[in-house]
Structure 1
Amino acid sequence: MIALLAEHQADAVIVRLVDRIDDGILKASPRLKLVHKHGAGTNDIDVAAAQALGIPVLAAVGANAHSVAEHALALMFALVKDMRRQDAFVRGGGWAEKAYRGGELRGRTLGLVGFGLIARNLARMALAIGMRVQAYDPFAPDDAFADGAVRATDLDALFATSDVLSLHCPLTEDTRNLVNARTLGLMKPSALLINTARGEVVDEPALCAALAAGTIAGAGLDTFAPEPPAPDNPLWQLDTVILSPHIGGVTEEARGEVSLITCGNVIAFLKGESVPPRFFVRG
C-alpha cells in the first residue's frame, strides 16, 4: 500500500479492509489530505498519527446504523426464542411443542452500553415492542433520550439490572475487556449479552466461562477477538450462543449508503466544500 500511495501521490485514502493505517502509510504520499473509513469503526487507523500530520480522519458514521440495530434485535429474538436449539431439534426429527419454550422481549429491560446512532435506533425498536430501555453514555446529549430511553449513570448498575445488555461503544483503552469476569458476575443469571460493537470489548475466555457456569443465560455475538475465531474457540461448544460473521452492518442497503457518504465526503473535501462535522473522527 505504501508503494501504491507513493506512486500515485494520493490526495485521499478510503479505508475498507486493511490491517492498520499507520504513520508509515500516512507519510507515503506528501499530497495526502484526507483518510476516510468506508464504515464507522476506526480502530484500524492511527487517528492520532494522522492528526499529528494535519490529516483529518473521517468515517461514514450512521450509514449502517439501522442495519446493525436490526441485527442486534435479531440476535436478541433468536436467543429469547431459543431458535438455535429449536431449529436443531426439528432438523433432527423432533416434534414436541413443549421441548423448548421461548420467552418474550416485551416487559424486559434492555441495557445499552453506548448511545450513539446504532443504539438509538435499537432503543426505538425495543421500545416499540414493549421493552424498557436504559442506556449508559456519559457523552450522549440529553436530547438523545427524548424518545423514552432512560439515562443510566452507573455502569455497574446497568450490568446488574438489565435483562439484555447490548454493546454499542467504540473500542478504546477504557472499553477494552469492559465485559469481563467481574462485570459478568454482576449480571442476572437470566441475562443475555449482545455484541455488535468490537470483539475486544469482551473478554472472550471470561464470557465462555460465564456461559458454561450459567452465570448468564446466553450471548449473541457478531464480533470476535481475533477475527475469524480460532477453530478451537470454546464458543463453538456452547448451545446458548448465537454467532454471526461480523455482518451486522453488511446489507445491500447499508453498503450502498456507506459508499455514497464516503465518496460524497471525499469529493466535497477535496473541492474545498463543507463536510458535516459528525463525520470527523475526534482524536
Structure 2
Amino acid sequence: MIVTRFAPSPTGRLHLGHAYSALFARDAARAAGGRFLLRIEDIDAGRCRPEFVDGIFEDLAWLGLDWETPVRRQSAHMDDYAAALGRLDAQGLLYPCFCTRAEIQAEIAAAGGAPHGPDGPLYPGTCRRLAPSERAARIAAGEAYALRLDMAAAVAAAGPLDWHDRAAGRVAAAPQRFGDVVLARKDVPTSYHLAVTVDDALQGVSLVTRGRDLFEATHVHRLLQGLLGLPVPEWLHHGLLTGPDGRRYAKRDRSLTLLTLRESGCSSEEVRRMARGHPSE
C-alpha cells in the first residue's frame, strides 16, 4: 500500500506552495487507494510556535484534507533520533565538532576557499582530525559541540547506493557532495536529514513526495537509510509553485498565506484551484 505524507514545519502560516505539496501528497495516496499522513516537523524549538501548529491543522482542514491521528510531532520523539545517532556512533561514523560558524568561515578564508556542495562551502574537516584524547578533554570541559557524519567513512561503509524517483528515474547516490554533514547540535539534538529519514521509516512512508528544492538532500537520506538498515521508499520530487514574479512561494510572502486568502474572501475551492496551478519545472 502506498503511504505518503505532508510534513510542514510550524515556523509560520501555510502558503499556496504548502497547499500544492499537501494536495499533491494526498492525491497521490488517494489515486492508489493508499494512506496520507500529516507530520509536524518541529525539532527547532527556537523557531517553531504552537500557534503555527494550530494554524496548520486549521488551514489543511479548510482545504478539505483529512489525515490519520495521532499526528507525529518530531519534538515528542527525540529518543528515536538519539537511538539512530547511537547506531551511527557505534559504527565509528560520528565525531564531535567544536567549531563555531565564524571559525569555519575563517579557516575557509585562510585556505583561500573550499569546495562547494549543494548547501554551500564544505566543512574543512578541522575536528575530524582531532585526537580522541583531545575530543574527550574538550567534551569533559563542557565545550559545546555538534555531531558530524564522517562522510568518507560513511560512504565506504554503505557502499554504492541508488534510489528511484518517479520523475528522474534511477539516481546514483552521491552524498559525498555534502561533506561531513551535521546530524545533531546542542540546541537541536537532531537534524532535518536524520529526523526525516527516521520518521519516514517508522511511519512506513513508501512514496516521499516533496518539492524539487529538496532533491539534493535525498542523496544524504539514502546514505542514512543504508547505514541504519532502513527501508527505501520511492521519491517524487515535484515542481515548485511560483508567483507572478517567478519566485517560489515562501513564508515571507504573508499576503499569500492561506489564512490571508481565506480572510480576503477566497473560498477553499478557489484556493485549491490556485494551488493546483502550474508548478515550475
TM-score, structure 1 as length reference: 0.25
Q: As a proportion of its length, which structure holds more helix?
A: 2
TM-score, structure 2 as length reference: 0.25
